Structure 1
Amino acid sequence: MPPQLPHPDTVIHLYRHLLREATYVPPYCRPWVTERIRSKFRDNRRPNIHKAHQSLRYLRSANAGHVSRTLHLCFLASGRLGKRRRQLADLYLAKEPVVDSDALEQKPLFPTAKDTGSSRKHRPEEPPIQSWLDNWDVQKIKAIAGAQVRNPSINWPKQMRKTYDPAFVLPKENAWGRPFTPKVMKRKEQKHYAKLLADLMPPVPQGEWDLLQALSLGQAETDMFNVPSRRTVATTPVASQDSATNTAPEWNWEAYVTKPVRAVERGNSRVFKSLSGACDSDPRGQGKPIGVKAFSPRRLRRSIYGRVWEASPILTKAKGKFQVTFGGARRELSPVTNSDLQFFSGVDEKGASPKGPVAHKGNKRLNQAL
């Protein structure tokens, strides 16, 4: 549970609380969270105080051990969600620029009447239909979408649809059996790729992919798996006197009269308790919050870093084709102990025993059943 920290009143006080909470997040996403907080306050003269308070509660809940919120922060830092995801898509999925003037001259800016297939000489040449899709490499998008569909371990944060190829999705004729005009087909193609890009996991740099692999396999440095402990909360003399006299807080009966009980007690529920930081004074209270776990190095490696690595691909090109490699370690079963081997003595790999049922020591009821 997050401790009962004082509520920040001023903007600078809120800014310091956010930076302090950023030091307790996992080491992988700590630089991104810190830089995001600084840029939000420096770029905006009047920051949104309401959203800043929401972010502060979110960070406190994640640092208290909420697994889903901590995983969401790592997804934002790795570019699986949010602003960095769009930046990685613009960097790795855009068309490569022309390197020399010869390649630029090979492709004319406007097609001629012969290129468009027009047989009318008096018909003026129409410029091609300009689209935002012209700046994206469609082959890269198809390669990543196909690899993402074939990888069943990627089920969050985005689920790719199985029919990603526009040749099998987009219709070629209208309701009267006539082909669509080029303008309508271009608009349908844009809409299809816009939905496809919304679910696509963009590639990550090779160095970051190697770091995620080391974190998932436990081969990184020990500091990457250690979360610093929280400092003790400073108390004012007035608060220390109140705790010494054990004075109970005053009951706000006006809220229970003017508002529904579910609205007043919302912060004490198990779902929102990690966000509000409320504690049960009565042992018959709601109980422990939902989704809060203790972050051990093993939990960070398997529940956080492993899932981020599974959703992070790298894009390479070999022999004119794009190859996509998603992360993911093959989890092997732990070896069987000597005490458990007696149950499998005389049994082959298929589970059959050539000598019939095997007698088990110390289990008379099981031997009688056999």
Structure 2
Amino acid sequence: MAHLYPVPHWRHVYRALLRESGYLPDPIARPYMHNYVRLSYRENWPKIIPNSAASPYGQIHLERKARKLLSLLTRANEGYLKPLERVLMLSYGRAGVQRRNLLEPLLGLPEQIQKAKRPYPADYSRIVLARPAEWEPLPTLQALIDSQVQRRELKQLGLTERIKETKPEYPGTNVWGQEASPKKLNAVKRKWFMALVDNLLPPLPEDQWNTLSGLVIGTEPWTEPQRRPRRALDEWSRSALDAEFLVFGPKKGETFEKFAKGRPHHIKRKLMQNLWDKVCTATPRMHWDGNKGQWLVQWGSPKVEAPIYRTLDPGMEDALFGGVDAKTGQLLKT
């Protein structure tokens, strides 16, 4: 049946994104990426500029961005480690938009930023630091900053740059030896604040942390993702002299070109546990300590109790190891 209206050529990319999102091997990543794709298309649809690549809302720019995300999700479902790790970091708020959304409650943002759907980074420094001398980080934010500065192993994950300063370091004088101007001090504080916004790793909500810790320990149920097999093509029905053959010539045999940036893996629980453990390494937990009167921050995977092994009955020791030298393990001569 012919369509009564022209079908947009981007629709197959949208459907492919939703399909790949449903095959992700993580219970948090599946709904997050599904909602992210839907909201991205809905927000950009009224602002799109047809056949343009000059602005962020240009059609060519948005299509390139969508295909890049589709490539990431496809390779993640095929078992490539780097794309799969990237999808997990995006879904658990260790990078991307979700990290910024989890960080907003800790920054003490004014109402004009909280009401905005997607504030740009410049909005943070312009509105929050409109009067830099009056803004100070909340106790929860300062505790998280002090803790992340000491976590040097976060640099190995390559998620963010290392935060070097817990508080802005103001210069005493300028290059002429005079007292630094208020404008210079405000610029220093604004630069320090934007470094926090770009590199700080916020804690997860309690329900997501419970799911993540359960997946790492093994108490959370998990099953391998099942894909519907692709429909096989009938090679005999195709002509050997098709357009691809006439333009590019005969195809080469199997090469290692597709493995140049890694190889696919079978997605099993053991493989996923290693990736979940990396996410836990970059995830803090915060709780209030009433005795010390301060916020405490803990990083890393939850502690797993050591298994309890059964001890050998002392009365059976002679029956099992009798007549054996304790040092060499050889049978004693009788």
Q: Which residue of 2 aligns with 1:231?
A: 228
Q: Which residue of 2 aligns with 1:108?
A: none
Q: Which residue of 2 aligns with 1:181?
A: 181
Which of 83, 91, 94 is the matching residue for 1:80? 94
Q: Which residue of 2 aligns with 1:348?
A: none
Q: How does 1:326-365 map to 2 (within 5 A)?
A: 326-329=299-302
Contact 2:100 2:197 in 1 (8 A): no
Q: How does 1:88-167 map to 2 (within 5 A)?
A: 88-94=102-108, 130-131=130-131, 137-155=137-155, 156=157, 157-166=159-168
Contact 1:164 1:196 in 2 (8 A): no
Gaps of 5+ in 1: 1-7, 98-128, 257-279, 336-357, 362-370
* Larger Rg computed on CA atoms: 1
Q: Which residue of 2 aligns with 1:305?
A: 276
Which of 288, 298, 301 is the matching residue for 1:325? 298
Q: Which residue of 2 aligns with 1:172?
A: 172
**Cα gap change, 1:191 to 1:33, in 2 (>3 Å):** same
Contact 2:217 2:304 in 1 (8 A): no
After superposition, the C-alpha distances for 1:304-346 in whole angstroms (9 at most, x for unaligned) are 21111221112333344222122324689999xxxxxxxxxxx
Letter in 1 for 2:160: K
Which moves more between the two structures, 88-97 or 304-313? 88-97
Instruction: Report % sequence identity.
Output: 23
- Give the alignment's Cα RMSD to 1 decimal: 3.6
Q: Which residue of 2 aligns with 1:50?
A: 64
Displacement of 1:28 in angstroms is 2.3
Which moves more between the two structures, 87-96 or 11-20? 87-96
Give the aligned length.
Answer: 269
Q: Secondary structure at the match of 2:154?
A: coil
Displacement of 1:186 in angstroms is 2.1
**Cα gap change, 1:284 to 1:132, in 2 (>3 Å):** same
Letter in 1 for 2:105: L
Contact 2:80 2:264 in 1 (8 A): yes
Contact 1:19 1:34 in 2 (8 A): yes
Provide the TM-score with structure 1 as the length reference: 0.62
Structure 1 Cα separation of the partners of residues 243 and 16 of structure 2: 27
Provide the TM-score with structure 2 as the length reference: 0.68
Gaps of 5+ in 2: 1-6, 49-58, 112-128, 309-326
User: Which structure ranks higher in relative contact order (CA pairs < 8 Å, sequence separation ≥ 6)?
Assistant: 1
**Cα gap change, 1:332 to 1:154, in 2 (>3 Å):** farther
Structure 1 Cα separation of the partners of residues 33 and 225 of structure 2: 16
**Cα gap change, 1:329 to 1:203, in 2 (>3 Å):** closer
Q: Secondary structure at the match of 2:191?
A: helix
Q: Which residue of 1 aligns with 2:264?
A: 292
Structure 2 Cα separation of the partners of residues 330 and 206 of structure 1: 17
Matched, 1:41 2:41: yes
Matched, 1:67 2:81: yes
Q: Secondary structure at the match of 1:79?
A: coil
Displacement of 1:176 in angstroms is 3.6
Structure 1 Cα separation of the partners of residues 296 and 133 of structure 2: 22
Contact 1:95 1:136 in 2 (8 A): no
Letter in 2 for 1:230: R
